[in-house]
Amino acid sequence: MEILNIKDLSFTYPLAASPALRDISFSVNEGEFIALCGATGSGKSTLLRMLKPELSPLGEKSGSISFKARPIDTAKPSETGFVMQDPDHQIVTDKVWHELAFGLENMGMPHSAIARKTAEMASYFGIEDKFESSISELSGGQKQLINLAAVMVTEPELLILDEPTAQLDPITASELINTVKKINRDLSLTVIIAEHRLEEVIPICDKLLVIENGTVLAFGKPEDVLKQLYGYSEIMCGMPAAARISALLGENECALSVTQGRELVRKYGNEKELPENKSDNNSKRNAALAFRDVYFRYERTAPDILKGSSFEVYENEIFCILGGNGSGKTTALSCASGILRPYSGNIYVFGKKIRDYKNQSLYNECLALLPQDIMTVFLRNTVREELDDAGADISSLPFDLTPHLGKHPYDLSGGERQLAALAKVLALKPKLLLLDEPTKGLDAAAKQRIISLLRKLTADGMTIVTVTHDVEFAAECADRCALFFRGEIVSTAPPDEFFSENSFYTTAASRITRGHFRRAVTAQKAAELCKLNGLKEACV
């Protein structure tokens, strides 16, 4: 049964020169799981907001949207649910139970009905033990789960999610997506989800909607849509590794999941290997940052967060620290930047103990830290003021910020914001740059830009240490990767070796090629190996 029908929808924001959406037409059946993708600024959010009358932006609208064969404007707030990106600010009240009850209170439901429904939701989402907790005690993933539950409590018939996992780490993100899929399956609820994390979403979605510059580029079954998009590298770079390998090889059938990807690469021979680019890693290199038996805890009675952690970062390299939540990665970075002080052990920055840097000299053309929450970098009303304050020379930046100079930093998109923050940091001319989750919330294209920028900076003599959850990013950009576990580094290796030895904590490309190719940790390399070896004779 058709639940949503959009016909020739166009929309222009007031005072905008060109429309944000143009001639969009598609229809959705009840119980379908639709993934919506497109680059930042392609009109994804605008389209999703048009489907939720309370959130529809003001502007010039033409065409029609019908929901259950009625115009969408007649839909009640409880009929469509909307989950946004930011886990914190969607939450209205201070307690979990109150948040679950909020939507029902708004419907004017009696006490007994609210009690029953909130209880039902809490047990369905497995948050019974958190029912009376304060929101401030919860993690980001739990908050987003509360947001989902708080929307589901009014029993919507259409669930819209606008990048719900952008602020989450990969493990909680995949849990959330699985929960959404479970609701979709259990209740035959129609779901439309905009996502950057397509590796998870594409294999489970029924249909894929790709939009570009406000128009529908393709809509249909994911394998068919992806086949049409083989040529669009901007969009393909965010797709699952299996699909990227298919695209690079120009396969007739586009593989989506790891399983399909494995089938695909097995059709190719595996005798030849790519020439290893032996770098002179063994020659003695100077350490830009060194930890020697560093112990840290937040309070005297609290457990150790860093437990005798020791490692070295060499000059001119990109060093990626990976690891789960609460393993102490971010704490290590804060210690390295001098914000936190370890109670035992030493940290050396360019061979000098960190506590011997007096009077801000540590931050003076030496070291800078970009935190995870990039909003905290900005203090002024425009990007230009921000850069002037820091004394940045706009013309010498390795990227172009001129179109954004007059904007408020908060109005930039995630990728632009990251670049603006980097520009502010680069003005301080650091030799050692510490980055905490630089790819959080970025789309694939923005990620590629950050990777090439980091490469350029190291080529110019900078040393970069980044803490990240993003294995794909680490595989493409790092010189060396390290796994942080329970307060110390347990293994360090170049990405090829690091990810091909791990079997769970690794890239999708590595999972696809495991046991077949050696050291193919990126889709690019996997495809190159396939081409080099050619199809097996039986498959020709």
Partner 1 sequence: MRGFRELNPAVIAVYYLCVIGTAMFIMHPVIITLSLVGAVTLYITIDKKRKAGLHISFFLLFLILAVINPIWYHNGVTVLFVVNDSPITLEALLYGVFAAAMIISVLYRFRTFSMIMTADKLMYIFGKLSPKISLILSMALRYIPLMRKQTEKVRSTQKALGIYRGDNIADTLKGEIRIFSIMATWSLENGIITADSMEARGYGAQRRTSFSLFRLKVSDAVFLVLCLIPTAIVITAAVMGETDMTYYPALSAVTASPPALASYISYGILSFLPSILEWKEVLRWKYLISKI
Q: Which of residues 36-65 bind partner 1 (CB under 8 A)?
A: 52, 54-55
With binding defined as CB under 8 A, does residue 228 bind partner 1?
A: no
Q: Among the candidate windows 30-38, 80-88, 283-291, 517-525, which touches partner 1 by CB under 8 A?
A: 80-88
How many angstroms separate the CA atoms of 437 and 311, rounded?
Answer: 20
Name the residue nearer to partner 1 (CB basis): 83 or 264.
83
Name the residue nearer to partner 1 (CB basis): 96 or 210.
96
Are 408 and 416 contacting, i.e. CB atoms less than 8 angstroms apart?
no
How many angstroms separate the CA atoms of 512 and 155, rounded?
Answer: 39
**Least Å from the CB of residue 531 to partner 1:** 45
Of 186, 277, 410, 460, the residue at the interface with partner 1 (CB under 8 A) is 410
Name the residue nearer to partner 1 (CB basis): 466 or 522.
466
Q: Element (H or E) spanning 207, and its range? A: strand 207-212
Beta partners for residue 2, in sequence order: 29
Name the residue nearer to partner 1 (CB basis): 21 or 114.
114
Q: Among the candidate windows 128-136, 211-219, 266-274, 348-356, which touches partner 1 by CB under 8 A?
A: 128-136
Give the residue ranges of DSSP H helices in 287-413. 329-336, 383-390
CA distances from 519 to 239, 287, 532 (A): 21, 27, 14
Of 16, 69, 107, 171, the residue at the interface with partner 1 (CB under 8 A) is 107
**Least Å from the CB of residue 386 to partner 1:** 10
Phi, psi (degrees; rounded to nearest 5) at 308: 60, 45
E-strand ranges in 41-154 read 60-67, 70-71, 80-83
Stated length of the chain? 540
With binding defined as CB under 8 A, does residue 14 bind partner 1?
A: no
How many angstroms separate the CA atoms of 438 and 418, rounded?
Answer: 7
Of 35, 51, 75, 150, the residue at the interface with partner 1 (CB under 8 A) is 150
Are 479 and 313 contacting, i.e. CB atoms less than 8 angstroms apart?
no
How many angstroms separate the CA atoms of 10 and 461, rounded?
Answer: 49
With binding defined as CB under 8 A, does residue 90 bind partner 1?
A: yes
How many angstroms separate the CA atoms of 415 and 408, rounded?
Answer: 14
Q: Which of residues 426-485 bind partner 1 (CB under 8 A)?
A: 428, 434
With binding defined as CB under 8 A, does residue 89 bind partner 1?
A: yes
**Least Å from the CB of residue 69 to partner 1:** 22
Q: State CA 35 to chain mean position distance.
A: 16
Name the residue nearer to partner 1 (CB basis): 216 or 335.
335
- CA contacts within 13 A on the Cβ side of 213: 2
Q: Among the candidate windows 318-326, 342-350, 378-386, 506-514, which touches partner 1 by CB under 8 A?
A: 378-386
Structure tokens at 54: 């309370």
> Is beta strand 215-220 parallel, antiparallel or unpaired with respect to 287-296?
unpaired
Total of residues contacting partner 1 (CB under 8 A): 68
With binding defined as CB under 8 A, does residue 114 bind partner 1?
A: yes
Footprint of partner 1 (CB under 8 A): 52, 54-55, 76-78, 81-82, 84, 86, 88-95, 97-98, 101-111, 114-115, 118, 132, 135-136, 150-151, 154, 334, 337-339, 359-360, 362-364, 368-369, 371, 373, 375-381, 389-390, 408, 410, 424-425, 428, 434
